[in-house]
Structure 1
Amino acid sequence: MGDSKLEVIKMNHNDIQQTLQDALNNEEEMMRTYLIAAERVHESEELKLRLREFAEGNAKRSRQLMDELKRFTD
């Protein structure tokens, strides 16, 4: 087997901030997608509920990411 080495990539302040912002954008987009899907589901209240719960999870992660981003600007 070959000698595999992990390359360590250092992130600066701006890189970390951009990564957090990208993650926030993704969470918000997924939240919207789940909420729209939940509104369009009519045949299964159970599925509608699960989709809303997924969106709530995205909302929670979004708040956490916003808090983390705020720490970068304080």
Structure 2
Amino acid sequence: MSDTPVDEMTFEAAMAELEKVVTQLERGDVALEESIALYERGAALRKRCDAKLKEAEEKVAAITLDAEGNPKGTQPVEGL
């Protein structure tokens, strides 16, 4: 597991670590306490990935188009 706090990770870093966590848990060769810690870390990583995806979706939705349908800028997204 990475020492980087989950709330500081990029989407890509969180997703890569989440994949490693899932692989370890699926193998089933870790002790119970480590499994619990991995599960908790995985839940936090999934939450981070969900938040980053939602943020990206909101940014994409805020792109404004001109009369020809071309992006002309963005509108501020409330709460960001």
| TM-based fold match above 0.5 | yes
Q: After the TM superposition, which segments of 4 or more aligned residues of structure 1 sit over 2 Å from their partners? A: 38-43
Tell me the residue number matched to 2:5. none
Which stretch of the first structure deviates more once superposed, 36-45 or 64-73?
A: 36-45
- Name the residue aligned to 2:6: none
The residue that corresponds to 1:47 in the other structure is 34
TM-score under structure 2 normalisation? 0.58
Identity rate, percent: 15
Query: In 1, are the aligned partners of 2:14 and 2:49 still within 8 Å (CA)?
Result: yes
- Name the structure with the higher strand share: 2
When the two structures are aligned, how many residues end up with a matched partner? 53
Greater share of helix: 1
Unaligned runs of 5+ in 1: 1-21
TM-score under structure 1 length normalisation: 0.62
Question: Within 5 A, what are the aligned runs for 1:5-16?
Answer: none
Mark the runs of 5 or more structure 2 residues left unpaired by the alignment.
1-8, 62-80
The higher-RCO structure (CA 8 Å, 6+ apart) is 1
